[in-house]
Amino acid sequence: MIEIVGGVLVRKRELLLGRRSPSKRICPNTWDVLGGHREAGETLEQTLARELEEEVGVTPAESVKLATLRFVHDGQAIGFHLYRVDAWTGEPALANDEHTELRWFGYAVAAALPDLASEEYRALFRAL
C-alpha cells in the first residue's frame, strides 16, 4: 500500500491550500492539502514534518489526525492520512515546484471550491 500524509494548516478559522502545478501527473491544477508520500522507515508524523518543510518551509508544532482516506489509483491501494496542523514554526511560502500558489480560505469557501483535488475534502473542511 502506498501511504500519503497531508497537512491542513489552520489559523483564524481559515485553512491553507496549495494549487498543484499543472505539470503534476495526479490532480494537476487543483487545490490540495500539503503533503506527500511516506518514505521507508518514517512515521506518519515524520512524513508530515518533512513534507511541510519541503513544500512550504514550516515545521508542525501541534497536529491531530483527522482521517485516513482509502482508495485505489492506477491499481494501487492508497492510504491518505490527513492531519490538522494548529501550530507551526516558520511562515508558509512556496518552497519548491509542487504548487504554483498558496492561499488561505475560510472553511466553507474551501469546501465549495469547484476544483479540489479530492471530493472527500468537502466534508472534512466543513467539519473543521
CATH number at 85 reads 3.90.79.10
C-alpha cell belonging to residue 63: 497536529
Q: Rounded to an integer, what is the distance from CA 1 to the centroid of its chain? A: 19
Residue 110 domain boundaries: 2-127
Domain count, the chain: 1
pTM of the model as a whole = 0.93
Q: What is the pLDDT averaged over residues 50-68? A: 97
pLDDT tens for each residue of 78-88: 999 999 999 99
List pLDDT tens digits, range 23-54: 988 889 999 999 999 999 999 999 999 999 99
Query: Does residue 105 register a pLDDT over 90?
Result: yes
8 A C-beta contact, residue 97 and residue 55: no
Q: Position of cell 483564524? A: 12
Residue 112 has a pLDDT of: 97
